[in-house]
């Protein structure tokens, strides 16, 4: 106390200064807390405003989305793939060691038998001034419904000619190429339209001498793609070949959408190669790394199947595929919605892997690799699937399950032997490479 008194006497303003210092410190702490609360409020406001968008768009893949499509009154939960794409690798498959001694099973062609003919020409309807010929024809809804019956019939399946003066079917081929294609019994085919890919040559080391001599390898292109391939150093020889590929140039493409044009050789190999008994379709992103005859033996003969296609490596439900196509703007959203609404109204159901009655391991195919025996049921399914693509969108993964299930439902006593195999098996026979250029999404 003596020291305090002495000090205040010596410094009469010191106590006042200390008091002011305390008040100043309290004031600073108050202002600091105010700033902290203000910054917190600003952060919360920003998060509330923009955070929703972050989770709604930028991080869509990491969420579980609830699609409000009604299925028996129950919302459907659809998981989206991870933002970080997984690496998918081939699995080991037991192909035969050699084609030597390979013989088609005697009873292999014992499948459902009926006769198919195709509409080759359409006349202009009476009093119709706006008639325009279409490659797929003008199939009515009644004709569409009837075409699903596995019975003797004449149906739309592309290559439909118009009235006199408009007789071109589009997808026109040189007569020499057509003559060559008429001789093919076993076919490996692919296409590049719109210069969207590089030329992927089959691995010759894996192709037997038998297949090199007896299997037709046909690559369909149009002039623009041929020019692009030539600038890459890929020039056909005097016989029209680039390696094993016979290059067939298509004139008058039937669709503006190059993806839809590509469905012609993909689905209609039985029409392009009328003498063929087997065909293998390769998307242009694939390189064949196994012998075609060994592929046919493994996927068709060994499983007693007339059609083989791999399931998708990520998605198995059409609902998921619809969402994915719309999110990535693969096609016009309204067109996708209209197609999906038709399929739902006609009985398409959600894929349920737990249901033992589910007829396929997946309702979404990978679609880039198809092995076919050209049987009546296989040819009918190919025509039906093509007609769905022609009528609706070019996204054929949306129409696969509907087409298969409807064909199966309408022909309960006529089985269609379809082998849907694992995608890793596809990767063991055909190597997946990147596209040169991704086509812009179609708006039609």
**So what's the pLDDT on residue 16?**
40
Least Cα distance to 95 among 424, 428, 372 occurs for 428
Residue with tokens 């592309």: 158
Instruction: Give SS3 for 170.
Output: coil
Compute CA distances 111 → 207, 359, 376, 405, 414, whole Å. 29, 18, 8, 18, 9
Q: Which residues contact 342 (CB under 8 A, 6 or more apart)?
A: 392
What is the reported pLDDT for 261?
A: 97
User: Is residue 218 within 8 Å of residue 288, measured between CB atoms?
Assistant: no
Structure token pair of residue 227: 């020019």
Extended strands (E) in 80-131: 116-118
- Token readout for 33 is 């807390």
DSSP state of 307: E
User: What pLDDT does 435 receive?
Assistant: 84
**How far, rounded to the nearest angstrom, does the alpha carbon of residue 199 sit from its chain's CA centroid?**
20
CA distance 134 to 395: 19
3-state secondary structure of 344: helix
- At 27 the three-state DSSP class reads helix
Spatial contact of 98 and 89, defined as CB atoms under 8 Å apart: no
Distance of CA 49 to the CA centre of its chain: 36
Query: Can you tell me the distance from the alpha carbon of 433 to that of 284, in angstroms, rounded to the nearest whole number?
Result: 9
Of 259, 361, 267, 358, nearest to 307 by C-alpha is 267
Q: From the first residue on, what is the mean pLDDT of each consecutive set of 10 residues in the chain (444 residues)? A: 38 41 50 66 54 35 36 45 71 95 88 96 77 92 98 97 78 97 98 95 97 98 96 95 98 95 98 98 97 98 97 94 95 96 96 93 96 98 98 97 98 97 96 75 46
Please report the pLDDT score of residue 246 as a whole number: 98
Q: What is the DSSP string of 261-296?
A: HHHHHHH-HHHHSTT-SEEEEE-TTEEE-S-HHHHH
CA-CA distance, 15 to 26, in Å (whole number)? 17
């Amino acid at each position: 106390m003596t020291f305090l008194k002495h000090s205040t006497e010596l410094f009469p303003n010191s106590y006042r200064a200390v008091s002011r210092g305390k008040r100043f410190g309290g004031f600073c702490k108050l202002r600091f807390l105010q700033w902290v609360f203000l910054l917190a409020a600003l952060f919360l406001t920003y998060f509330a405003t923009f955070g929703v968008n972050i989770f709604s768009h930028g991080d869509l893949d990491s969420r579980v989305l609830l699609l409000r499509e009604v299925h028996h009154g129950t919302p459907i939960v659809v998981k989206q793939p991870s933002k970080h794409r997984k690496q998918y690798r081939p699995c080991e498959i037991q192909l035969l060691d050699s084609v030597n001694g390979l013989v088609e099973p005697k009873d292999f062609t014992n499948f459902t038998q009926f006769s198919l003919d195709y509409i080759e020409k359409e006349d202009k309807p009476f009093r119709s001034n706006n008639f325009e010929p279409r490659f797929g024809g003008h199939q009515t809804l009644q004709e569409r419904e009837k075409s699903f019956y596995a019975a003797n019939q004449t149906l739309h399946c592309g290559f439909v000619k118009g009235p006199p003066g408009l007789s071109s079917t589009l997808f026109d081929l040189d007569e020499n190429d057509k003559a060559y294609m008429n001789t093919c019994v076993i076919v490996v085919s692919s296409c590049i339209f719109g210069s969207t890919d590089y030329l992927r040559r089959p691995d010759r080391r894996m192709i037997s001498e038998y297949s090199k001599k007896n299997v037709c390898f046909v690559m369909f292109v149009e002039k623009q793609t041929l020019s692009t391939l030539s600038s890459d150093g890929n020039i056909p020889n005097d016989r029209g070949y680039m390696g094993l590929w016979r290059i067939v140039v298509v004139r008058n493409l039937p669709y503006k959408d190059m993806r839809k044009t590509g469905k012609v050789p993909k689905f209609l190999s039985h029409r392009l190669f009328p003498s063929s008994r087997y065909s293998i379709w390769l998307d242009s992103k694939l390189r064949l790394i196994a012998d075609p005859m060994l592929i046919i033996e493994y996927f068709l003969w060994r499983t007693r199947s007339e059609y083989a296609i791999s399931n998708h490596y990520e998605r198995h439900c059409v609902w998921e595929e619809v969402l994915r196509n719309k999110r990535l703007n693969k096609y016009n959203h309204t067109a996708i919605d209209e197609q999906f609404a038709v399929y739902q109204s006609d009985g398409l159901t959600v894929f349920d892997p737990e249901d033992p009655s589910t007829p396929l391991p997946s309702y979404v195919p990978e679609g880039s690799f198809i092995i076919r025996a050209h049987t009546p049921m296989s040819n009918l399914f190919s025509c039906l699937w093509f007609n769905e693509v022609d009528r609706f969108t070019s996204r054929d993964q949306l129409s696969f399950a509907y087409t298969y299930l409807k064909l199966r439902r309408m022909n309960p006593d006529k089985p269609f032997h379809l082998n849907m195999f694992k995608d890793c098996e596809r990767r063991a026979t055909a190597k997946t490479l990147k596209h040169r250029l991704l086509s812009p999404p179609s708006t039609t």
